[in-house]
Each structure stands twice: as structure tokens, then as C-alpha cells.
Amino acid sequence: MTVNSQPLLAVENLTRSFGSGKNPVLAVNNVNFQLEPGEIMAIVGESGSGKSTLARLILRLLPISSGKINFEGQTLTASDTRNYWRKVQAVFQDPFAAFNQFYSVRGVLTQAARLVVGLSSSEREKRMTDALISVGLDPIEMLDKTPYQLSGGQKQRVMIARALMLQPKLLIADEPTSMLDASLRVSILNLLKDLRDQYGMSILFITHDIGQAYYVSDRLLVMYQGELVEQGKTEEVIAQAKHPYTQRLMADVPKLHG
Ligand code: ADP
Ligand code: MG
């Protein structure tokens, strides 16, 4: 990574409040950070600290109250979200939640393929096969399965494959392991690292678990009550946590293997 490369994502004074009157909730309060190409950045914070709101703002699923988001040097505007969603993909805590339970894996991946302009049906098939192989699933075995035939870990891998169909530059993973058995978590974290290495995409990995953040990330942001209270190289933040909240998080570092 070159030091003076243009950041992939630059978030400037980003703020989002909910409610009005005397006590609006500042879910995201004046947040600033940059994400470099090929970097894995973890955002860690307790429940309610504003992590998902930040993710939804970056994904343009939620309007910002103030501040701005630059992607590849351009300020995001309301137009052209389709093009943006080809480059920025997400996986969430509850895999398949957004899908009809009768959708097959093929259906889920085909739907993603529709966002790609000018893909022939044979190219689409190849992309599906490649995406499933990239996430460690057997395409022949998987394509016709429906969600209830899949384990939690397989479902999350299918969701990651769905994101890969678009060959995104940024993958936002919001608590992707929190519904998985502890024994499966490390394999998903390793998969994310492998995909970064293989495709050079950037990853924003959101978690309440500083142990997972430490395991997977190059840089670490700590959120507390909507604010970024700490950011830096993961090892440095962990070695010399400055904010009392980070120190508290570290005090009960959960073990990765549960
Ligand atoms: P996290 O993902 O870190 O658990 P969230 O971003 O979900 O945190 O929530 C941050 C704060 O914003 C919480 O106080 C939450 O109640 C509030 N919040 C989030 N979404 C909404 C919403 N749609 N309407 C009102 N308040 C919300
Ligand atoms: Mg959340």
C-alpha cells in the first residue's frame, strides 16, 4: 500500500441523529476516518454505539444529517446508487434475512448478477461458480439449495458469495459472525482476510468483539455513544489504548474460540 494513494473511502464530520426536540439521539456524531484500498478496518463498539447506523450511512440506506462521504475521491450524492452498490456491498448479521425463504442459492446469486451490466448467461454462471468456490462452497452441491437446507455458516458464505458477484471494491460486514457458533467464527474471519488478499478489496468489519477486531483488522476504530474515540493501527491501539472505554473493552477480551 502506498502512503499517498487516494483513500477509497473518506468520511468527513459525518453525523446522523434520530428524533427531534430536546433529546435527539446522536447515533453517529461527527465521525472522521479514511479507508485505504485493500485495507481491513474494524469498527468496534458496544451495542447502541452507532456502528450499524454508520454502516447504513455509508451504504446509502439512510440519509445523513450532516457531513459527507467521499468514495474514490467523489462526494456521494443521491443519484446513481445502483452504480455505487456495484462497488460497495454488504453482509449483515442475519444472513438471508432480506430474502424469501424459498429462494435458492442460485436465485440469490442471480439477483445480484442483474446489477452487473452486459453479463451473458454463461458469464453469469461462471461468476456464480467462481464466487461459491471463493467462499469455500461446492457449486454443484449448493446452487439448488434453499436457506433451510443450509447451516448458519453456509448461509453467511452464500451472502459473501453474493457480494463477490459484483466484484466490489468495498465490503461492509456488519457483525457477520454474531449468529454463528464460536467454532465457525474464525473460519469466516479467515475467509474475509483471504478475499482481501485475493481481490484487493477493502473491508469494513463491524463487531462488538474486540478479539475479532484484533484478529482480522489492519486498523481499528473504536466507537462510543456515536463518537469515534480511538483510531489507529490495530496493534498500536490494542497496545496503548488511550480512551477509558477502549481499556474497558480490552479488560474482557472474549476468546476467539469461545
Ligand atoms: P450499534 O449497531 O452499534 O448497536 P446502532 O447504530 O444500531 O448501534 O444504534 C445507535 C443508536 O441509534 C441507538 O441509540 C439506537 O437506538 C439509535 N437508532 C438506530 N436506528 C434508529 C432508528 N431508525 N430510529 C431511532 N433511533 C435509532
Ligand atoms: Mg448494529
In this prediction, residue 106 carries a pLDDT of 96
| Angle subtended at Cα 233 by Cα 243 and Cα 51, rounded to the nearest 5 degrees | 60
Residue 75 pairs in a beta bridge with 70
> Which candidate, 142, 94, 148, places its Cα nearest to that of 134?
142
In this prediction, residue 257 carries a pLDDT of 44
Task: List the residue whose alpha carbon is closest to atom 23 of ligand 1.
Answer: 18
In 3-state terms, what secondary structure has residue 90? strand
- Distance, CA 113 to ligand 1 centroid (Å)? 31
In this prediction, residue 16 carries a pLDDT of 98
Residue among 26, 53, 174 to mutate when testing ligand 1 (max atoms within 8 A of CB): 53
| Angle subtended at Cα 191 by Cα 226 and Cα 106, rounded to the nearest 5 degrees | 100
Strand ranges of the sheet holding 40-44, from the earlier edge strand across to the other edge: 88-91, 170-174, 202-207, 40-44, 219-224, 227-233
Task: List the residue whose alpha carbon is closest to atom 16 of ligand 1.
Answer: 48
In this prediction, residue 99 carries a pLDDT of 72
Taking the model in full, what pTM does it have? 0.93
Cβ–Cβ contacts within 10 Å for residue 244, how many? 10
Atom of ligand 1 nearest to the CA of 175: 2
> Which candidate, 164, 210, 155, places its Cα nearest to that of 184?
155
Task: List the residue whose alpha carbon is closest to atom 21 of ligand 1.
Answer: 18
- Distance, CA 106 to ligand 2 centroid (Å)? 28
- Separation CA 137–CA 129 (nearest Å): 9
- Distance, CA 49 to ligand 2 centroid (Å)? 8
Residue linked to cell 480511538: 230
Residue among 14, 15, 25 to mutate when testing ligand 1 (max atoms within 8 A of CB): 25
**C-alpha cell, 57:** 450511512
In this prediction, residue 258 carries a pLDDT of 43
Atom of ligand 1 nearest to the CA of 223: 3
- Distance, CA 96 to ligand 1 centroid (Å)? 21
**C-alpha cell, 113:** 448478477
In 3-state terms, what secondary structure has residue 163? helix
- Distance, CA 177 to ligand 1 centroid (Å)? 20
Which residue numbers in the chain have pLDDT < 70?
A: 1-4, 252-258
In this prediction, residue 245 carries a pLDDT of 81
- Distance, CA 129 to ligand 2 centroid (Å)? 31
Helix, strand, coil shares of the chain, percent, nearest 5, are 40, 25, 40
Q: In the structure, which protein residues have their CB atom closer than 6 angstroms to any atom of ligand 1?
A: 18, 25, 27, 45, 47-53
Query: pLDDT digits over 129-180, tens only?
Result: 999 999 999 999 999 999 889 998 999 999 999 999 999 999 999 999 988 8
- Separation CA 163–CA 212 (nearest Å): 21
Secondary structure of 42-68 as H, E, C letters? EEECCCCCCHHHHHHHHCCCCCCCEEE
End-to-end CA distance of the chain: 33
Q: Taking each helix axis from N to C terminus, what angle separates 152-164 and 105-113, rounded to the nearest 10 degrees?
A: 20
In this prediction, residue 3 carries a pLDDT of 52
